[in-house]
Amino acid sequence: MLITLRNILDIAESKNMAIAAFNATSLEGIMAVIEAAEEENTPVILQFANAAHGKYIPLEKIGKVMVMLAEEAKVPVCVHLDHGDNFDEIKTALDIGFSSIMYDGSALSFKENVANTRYARYIADVYGASIEAELGSMGAEGAEGNVMGAYTDPETAKIFVEETDIDALAASFGTVHGIYKSEPKLDFNRIEKIRELTDVPVVMHGGSGISDDDFRKCIDCGVRKINFYTYAAKFAGDAIRKMAAETNGNLYSHDVFVTARESMKETYRDAIRVFRNNKVSL
């Protein structure tokens, strides 16, 4: 069942949990997400980061499959464009049938980010879709383990949300994209203040590598969407390497695909359980 980001985050808010948002880069990845969600009987966000993953498969190709399988799913699924940074890309996703988009103007000035996000809001409204936007920057992790990015200021976030009317805010509070070089240091007070002042769900980008306890603390502070992909892809690669080492004779591509899907599905099931925040089932 295909639903919007706003509706799926309403479910999260009512349950004091976070919805897992998993990126897909292949048919196997899409199947892993939906199978994990169905087996856990839990809503999920299926998303595509065109800026990062468009080199592997075009948005126009994978997007149609994402929407079709989401519509057929036995649980609520939001199909979301992750880190959309131009209006052509956003319109393409919405034309395909995506129920939500993210406009990422975090690299722009505050004024430009507001103006562009407001226009992205207008486009999403035309299609009956939801919108996530970003203020601050996740950045990258430096050699000392310090996050090299701009943390989201809660007071500025309040103004940003008031002027853009977004459905969810991607905020920077100590996470980074990709693999962590050291233990992340998250600013939980910042999450609480952002949520208090904006009254919109907070989105965590860079979920791979966070401890289960820290995930739960973030959820209790107001995080309602958690992006998670890198570790699932890494663990799937590890599973393929192990399978290949144990295989005598020919190694077939279809066996590689199945191994990757099963590994990713189990990683996603584990993440969904943690993000449910101690809820046994929904």
Please report whether residue 282 resides in a domain: no
In whole angstroms, what is the distance from residue 8 CA to residue 252 CA? Answer: 39
Residue 131 clears pLDDT 60, i.e. is over it: yes
- Is 228 annotated to bind ligand? yes
Among 117-131, 155-169, 180-194, 203-217, name the one with the lowest average pLDDT: 180-194
pTM: 0.92
Please report whether residue 75 resides in a domain: yes
Residues 244, 211, 264, 145, CA torsion sign: negative
- Is 105 annotated to bind ligand? no
- Is 22 annotated to bind ligand? no
Q: Which domain holds residue 152?
A: 5-275
Among 54-68, 86-100, 129-143, 252-266, name the one with the lowest average pLDDT: 129-143
In whole angstroms, what is the distance from residue 150 CA to residue 136 CA? Answer: 5
In whole angstroms, what is the distance from residue 55 CA to residue 63 CA? Answer: 14
- Is 53 annotated to bind ligand? no
Please report whether residue 25 resides in a domain: yes
User: pLDDT for 133-164, tens place per residue?
Assistant: 999 876 544 444 444 457 899 999 999 999 99
Provide the pLDDT for residue 175: 79
Provide the pLDDT for residue 48: 98
- Is 104 annotated to bind ligand? yes
Please report whether residue 59 resides in a domain: yes
Among 32-36, 68-72, 278-282, name the one with the lowest average pLDDT: 278-282
Looking at the structure of the chain, the number of domains it has is: 1
Residue range 11-25: average pLDDT?
97
Q: How confident is the model at residue 210 (pLDDT cuts 50, 70, 90)?
A: confident
- The per-type count for the chain, helices as H runs and strands as E runs, is 11, 10
CA angle 269, 50, 183 (to 5 degrees): 50
- Is 229 annotated to bind ligand? yes
Rg (CA), the chain: 18
The set of catalytic residues is: 82
In the DSSP assignment, the letter for residue 209 is T
Pairing between strand 147-148 and 44-48? unpaired
Provide the pLDDT for residue 277: 85
Residue 177 clears pLDDT 60, i.e. is over it: no
Please report whether residue 281 resides in a domain: no
Provide the pLDDT for residue 143: 40
Residue range 197-207: average pLDDT?
92
Provide the pLDDT for residue 224: 98
Q: How confident is the model at residue 95 (pLDDT cuts 50, 70, 90)?
A: very high
- Is 145 annotated to bind ligand? no
- Is 230 annotated to bind ligand? yes
User: pLDDT for 225-235, tens place per residue?
Assistant: 999 999 999 99
- Could you tell me if 19 and 12 are in contact, meaning their C-beta atoms sit under 8 angstroms apart? yes
List the CATH number of the domain containing 79: 3.20.20.70
Please report whether residue 82 resides in a domain: yes
In whole angstroms, what is the distance from residue 150 CA to residue 174 CA? Answer: 9
Provide the pLDDT for residue 206: 81
Residue 259 clears pLDDT 70, i.e. is over it: yes
- Is 29 annotated to bind ligand? no
Residue 280 tokens read as 């046994």
In whole angstroms, what is the distance from residue 105 CA to residue 114 CA? Answer: 8
What 3-state DSSP class applies to 173?
coil
In whole angstroms, what is the distance from residue 63 CA to residue 61 CA? Answer: 6
Measured CA to CA in angstroms, residue 255 lies from 30, 34, 35, 230, 239 at distances of 17, 20, 18, 22, 11
Give the mean pLDDT of the chain. 92
**DSSP string for 230-257:** HHHHHHHHHHHHHHHHT--S---HHHHH
Q: CB atoms < 10 A from the CB of 217, how many?
A: 15
Please report whether residue 196 resides in a domain: yes
Please report whether residue 111 resides in a domain: yes
Residue 79 clears pLDDT 70, i.e. is over it: yes
Residue range 211-216: average pLDDT?
93
Measured CA to CA in angstroms, residue 148 lies from 132, 137, 144, 145 at distances of 23, 9, 10, 9
